[in-house]
Structure 1
Amino acid sequence: MAVQAEPNRGARVIFIPPPLYYVAGLVAGAALDRLAGLSIGGRPVTVVAGAALAGVGLLLTGGGVFGVIGHRTTIVPHHRVASLVTTGAYRLSRNPMYTGLAVIYLGVALVIGSWWPVVLWPAVLLAVHRLVIRPEERYLEQRFGPAYAEYRARVRRWL
């Protein structure tokens, strides 16, 4: 049985801003590193690679943000979406902001030089997928119907 979307409400997500899931993983990884160091090594190459990776993630996240703003809709998951964005970064990924944040996360892990954030990365992605992306996708399916189904069939969730 499908639940009807409330006309003035967005996805039914927990009121935690999605970037905080990534920040929590990095903070937990850094804390674990202080308790039981698990150094990546390869300095300074890993710092440069991490910074470059974070830069790519920032571009992807920024592309998603600017795409949403350009279509005069919202980046806040629990707010009502005005339009389905399928251009720009949204041609590459249905979730360029979350994908970009995931790439930034890995870049930061390389910069700080700890394997712990990398070990926690799958748990962060699983939390984002279950607590944010799934509810958003259900909402977009209810809100945009066949247009979202066609977009979903054409564009991958992450990359």
Structure 2
Amino acid sequence: MHDRTDRPPAHAQTRVPLLVRTTSPAHFLLALLLGASLQRALPLPLPQGATLAWLQLGGGVVALAGLLLACWCFVLFARDRTTLLPERMPAQLVCHGPYRHTRNPMYVSLILSYLGLSVQIGWPWSALLLPLPLLALQWVVIPYEEARLRERFGSAYDRYCAQVARWL
């Protein structure tokens, strides 16, 4: 039997904003690829030699930190048996692990991975385009998610918001 408690009613599905339905990783991937295209068409200069090597190493470390943070969040969501998808109704309010320090560690992990990859691969245009997916998050995706969480968990979510910042 299929459990439908994590899905909104059918009529609510039509009101899910496109930027929420397409998922945030897709927004970051599009900005990353646009930056790669711009770097090929209008190359920005990169440092050379040891400076470049250290930047690339640092970028790789930052990207790995983002990946590890995302994996930690995936494990927490799986353990709490709740959805990762913003358009679905969550079953649990996850408030432990990295969620004690920020309400959006998944998005922090995306930002870290995105910036780290941009530096590691040598696509400065991608780093400069980071505001594009951030605006989608800040203005559309997160407000939608917060409204859903407030609808589902009420005052428990309000208390959580009062204790934990949206970002860091």
TM-score by length of 2: 0.85
Contact 2:89 2:148 survives alignment (8 Å): no
2:63 equivalent in structure 1: 54
Q: Percent identical across equivalent pairs?
A: 36
1:73 and 1:81 in contact (8 A); partners too: yes
Selected match of 1:85 from 72, 88, 94: 94
For residue 7 of structure 1, report the CA deviation from its aligned partner: 8.2
Q: Partner of 2:109 in structure 1?
A: 100
Q: Which portions of structure 1, spanning 4 or more consecutive aligned residues, are displaced by more than 4 angstroms?
A: none
Q: How does 1:1-159 map to 2 (within 5 A)?
A: 8-9=7-8, 12-14=16-18, 15-41=21-47, 42-159=51-168
**8 Å contact 1:51–1:108 — kept in the other structure?**
yes
Residue ranges of structure 2 left out of the alignment (5+ in a row): none
Q: In 1, Cα distance between the equivalents of 2:113 and 2:67?
A: 7
Q: Which has the higher helix share?
A: 2
Determine if contact 2:66/2:110 at 8 Å carries over to the other structure.
yes
Post-superposition Cα deviations, 1:112-146, rounded to whole Å, max 9, x if no partner, equal 11221111101211112223111001111111111
- Please state how far the C-alpha of 1:67 moved relative to its aligned partner: 1.2
Q: Deviations over 1:42-84 (max 9, x none)?
A: 3101110000000111121112111111100010111121010
Q: Is the 8 A contact 1:21 1:128 kept in 2?
A: no
Structure 1 counterpart of 2:112, one-letter code:
V
**Residues 13, 136 of structure 1: 8 Å contact kept:** no
Q: Pick which of 65-74 and 6-15 moved more.
A: 6-15
1:44 is paired with a residue whose SS is helix
Range 90-99 or range 6-15, more displaced: 6-15
Gaps of 5+ in 1: 1-5
Q: How many Å apart are 1:157 and its aligned residue?
A: 1.4
| Counterpart contact for 2:58–2:116, Cα < 8 Å | yes
Q: Distance in 2 between matches of 1:137 and 1:115?
A: 32
Q: What's the Cα RMSD here?
A: 1.9
Q: Which 10-residue stretch deviates more, 63-72 or 38-47?
A: 38-47
3-state DSSP of counterpart to 1:79:
coil
Q: How many aligned positions are there?
A: 154
- Larger Cα-atom Rg: 2
